[in-house]
Amino acid sequence: METQRLPISNGMDFLKDLWGFFRTRKKFWLLPAIIVLIVVGAIIVFGGSTALAPFVYTVF
């Protein structure tokens, strides 16, 4: 019996699907909220694990 492997998708497929959703449903007003969430998430991830942590904590 052979096992089937699922194709590995990259992040670009997700971004294409997300852009298609925004374009089809006319939800462009959600873009700023998603961008802010991504930026805050990146600050939290990089702020806790790099030498930039003291500078990031002063921002908040």
Q: Is 44 part of any domain?
A: yes
The rounded distance, in Å, linking the Cα atoms of 44 and 49 is 9
Q: Is 11 part of any domain?
A: no
Q: Is 57 part of any domain?
A: yes
Q: Is 16 part of any domain?
A: no
Residue 10 pLDDT: 66
Domain ranges, residue 41: 30-60
Q: Is 12 part of any domain?
A: no
The rounded distance, in Å, linking the Cα atoms of 4 and 23 is 34
What does the pLDDT look like over 13-46, one tens digit per residue? 887 888 888 889 888 888 888 889 888 888 777 7
- Domains identified in the chain, total number: 1
Angle, CA 52 vertex, CA 48 and CA 56 arms, to 5°: 75
Residue 7 pLDDT: 65
Residue 36 pLDDT: 92
Q: Is 43 part of any domain?
A: yes
Residue with more model confidence, 57 or 13: 13
Q: Is 50 part of any domain?
A: yes
Residue with more model confidence, 27 or 11: 27
Q: Is 39 part of any domain?
A: yes
